[in-house]
Amino acid sequence: MGEAGINKTAKLVTSEEMRLLEDRASQQGIDNAILMDTAGLEIALAVSREIGFLRQIPILILVGPGNNGLDGLIAGRHLSSFGAKVTAILLSERIPTDTIMTKVDQSGVRILSLSSRNGDESLDLLGDEIKKSIVIVDAIFGIGMNRPIVGYLSKVLASVNKKKRKNSLIFAVDSPTGLFIDSGGIDKSFLAPDVTLALGFLKIGHVTQPGASRIGRLQLLDIGIPINIESSIRTNLITKEIVSKYLVDRPNDSNKGTFGKAFIIGGSKNYVGAVGFAAGAAYRSGVGLVTTAVPREIYPMIATAIPEATVIPIDLSSSNPHPSIMVNTRSIHKVIGGYSSLLFGCGIGLSRQSGIMLEDLLLSGIELPPVVLDADGLNLMSKVGNWWERLPSGALLTPHPGEMSTLTGEKISEIQSDRQSFCRYYAQKWNTTIVLKGANTVISSPSGETWVSPWADPVLSAAGTGDVLSGLIAGFVAQGIAVKESAILSVYVHGLAGEQFSKTVAGSGMFASDLLGLVPTCIESLKEENP
């Protein structure tokens, strides 16, 4: 999605939270009628900016039963005053004497009513209006849709999708009809817009798949709700302004000790590259030193691939594993106090030896720097009963949906149907920060506060990109940035690097290593926001 048309500190709200914010605005003396009139004007202005000259341009407003329909009618009144030929089609009955209706009627807007009782006749009328309209404004449900679309309305939407002109533009008021705004789900009768005009605040469904990819260009319109009433909203869109504030200063008299040391444990004969990607990303984040602990059998490859890193060989192949692993654990514990972050799991495999090491090192209560758990580390941990009760305080988990399913026992489809809710619930239950990877990655802290990435780029759907992300997080944590902030910053930089690759290199066929070279430039671009 990116950030075009989005304000710099965007909050993400549910439909219910939006209603509460409007109520609070009313309590502060901002009447709902004022908000609606402002919304209508801003919608009209947005259409005008998009289309340009409006005189005699045929515009069709599809008017639903609630306040969203009224927003559309008010927008129609303003568009008529701009010179457009506006027709409003009422898809449900409205009180003719209503003040808004009276003003709209007096403004020159042509008002028609459709009824399911007239069957094909009314659909033919609608089809005629659709065919001659350059602009169609979807003001049917907005954020008020809460059940599947059936019957006559589904026929109406099908008619719009089928009969609209190739050069016409559809504007959705607040939310396209057919989008479940609290989850991002899509109804089969979805009316795909070219532009979605979010009113007041962005909604969860605007940045949640699959809806986020089908709402066209997203614009956020200020309708006059005071910004001070949003403090209770716990879900945020990650923006450049937010993450730029997390960067650490890099004074000229720095040395490698200034920017911390990251310790990474991972790798196996089947996943040699994972540790390399993570270590490379940690270095690219700006960390001073990276040490990797890898199985002895891949030690030469890692030492060659990442010559900048210190490499410690560990034995994960003993036929009598536990004593050997204990030696590994003790040797790591002797030095780990000198490091400022610990990443465990990238490519380490699911062997018994790896599981023993996880328990002896991470779940034993010994003092550790902030811990990041990724990939196989998560799968190994899922086999330990009540692991969250033994996890070091302040740990961070980076599961993809499959790993989240393994950790929780929930179906992947259920997790994906409401990613924010699942992420928030388990972050609170496990008292840990969770980065739920995927399109529009979600981050939740133990407090329940949640952040959503603006990025949903398919180039990041490649092996090794998750290792790059976990390496970035470990690198930023090592530099003294708090765990939560490191996760938010890393997710943004990771997504931005993916977008830069798509724009400047290619749209597909990316190696995870391609991201590494783009990370410093992406970090540098954030400094422009926070000089």
Could you tell me if residue 504 is inside a domain?
Answer: yes
Tell me, yes or no, whether 491 lies in a domain. yes
Residues 355 and 487 in one domain: yes
The pLDDT assigned to 127 comes to: 93
Task: Return the pLDDT at 527.
Answer: 86
Does pLDDT of 91 surpass 70?
A: yes
pLDDT at 358: 94
Q: How confident is the model at residue 528 (pLDDT cuts 50, 70, 90)?
A: confident
The verdict on 397 and 285 lying in the same domain is yes
Q: Are residues 194 and 266 in the same domain?
A: no
Residue 510 has what pLDDT? 83
CATH number for 161:
3.40.50.10260
Residues 186 and 320 in one domain: no
Residue range 484-492: average pLDDT? Answer: 98
Q: How far apart are CA 77 and CA 103, in angstroms?
A: 8
268 and 229 in one domain? no
Please indicate, yes or no, whether residues 226 and 246 belong to a single structural domain of this protein. Answer: no
Q: What is the mean pLDDT of residues 75-79?
A: 97
Mean pLDDT, range 162-180, rounded to an integer: 95
Which pLDDT band, with edges at 50, 70 and 90, does 508 fall under? low
Q: Residues 346, 302: one domain? A: yes
Residue 71 is predicted with a pLDDT of: 96
- Is the residue at 374 inside a domain? yes
- pLDDT of 225 over the 80 cut: yes
Whether residue 131 lies inside any domain: the answer is yes
**Domain hosting residue 469, numbered range:** 241-527
Per-residue pLDDT at 3 exceeds 50: no
| Dist. CA 131–CA 111, nearest whole Å | 17
- Is the pLDDT reported for residue 241 higher than 60? yes
Give percent above pLDDT 90 in the chain.
70
> Is residue 5 in some structural domain?
no
Range with lowest mean pLDDT among 57-66, 178-187, 258-267, 296-305: 296-305
Q: Decide if 2 is inside a domain.
A: no
In this structure, the dihedral spanned by the alpha carbons of residues 81, 82, 85 and 87, taken in order and rounded to 10 degrees, is -60
Q: Are residues 164 and 219 in the same domain?
A: yes
Cβ neighbour number for residue 194 with a 10 Å cutoff: 15
Listed residues 233, 249, 279: the one ending a domain: 233
Tell whether 285 is covered by a domain: yes
pLDDT tens digits, residue range 350-404? 988 899 899 999 998 989 999 999 999 999 999 999 999 999 999 999 999 999 9
- pLDDT recorded at residue 317: 65
Query: In this structure, are 290 and 198 located in the same domain?
Result: no
In a domain, 6, yes or no: no
pLDDT at 5: 42
Domain boundary among 179, 208, 233: 233
- Name the band, by pLDDT with cuts 50, 70 and 90, for residue 298: very high
| The most confident of 4-13, 37-46, 114-123, by mean pLDDT | 37-46
The structural domain count of the chain equals: 2
pLDDT of residue 429: 97
State the pLDDT at residue 529.
64
398/332 same-domain check = yes
CA distance 424 to 152: 38
Counting residues of the chain whose pLDDT is more than 70, the rounded percentage is: 94
Please name every residue paired with 186 in a beta bridge, in sequence order, or none if there are none.
Answer: 179
Considering only residues 297 and 489, tell me which one the structure prediction assigns the higher pLDDT: 489
Residue 464 has pLDDT above 70, yes or no: yes
Instruction: Identify the bridge partners of residue 138 per DSSP, sorted by sequence position.
Output: 62, 172
The predicted structure's pLDDT at residue 273: 92
Under the banding of pLDDT at 50, 70 and 90, the label for residue 531 is low
Q: Do 414 and 292 lie in a common domain?
A: yes
Instruction: Supply the pTM of this predicted model.
Output: 0.90
Same domain? For 229 and 245 the reply is no
Cβ atoms 281, 313 nearer than 8 A: no
Last residue of a domain, one of 191, 209, 233: 233
How far is 412 from 390, CA to CA, in rounded Å?
A: 25
Domain harbouring 330, CATH code: 3.40.1190.20
Q: How far is residue 369's CA from residue 376's CA, in Å, rounded to a whole number?
A: 20
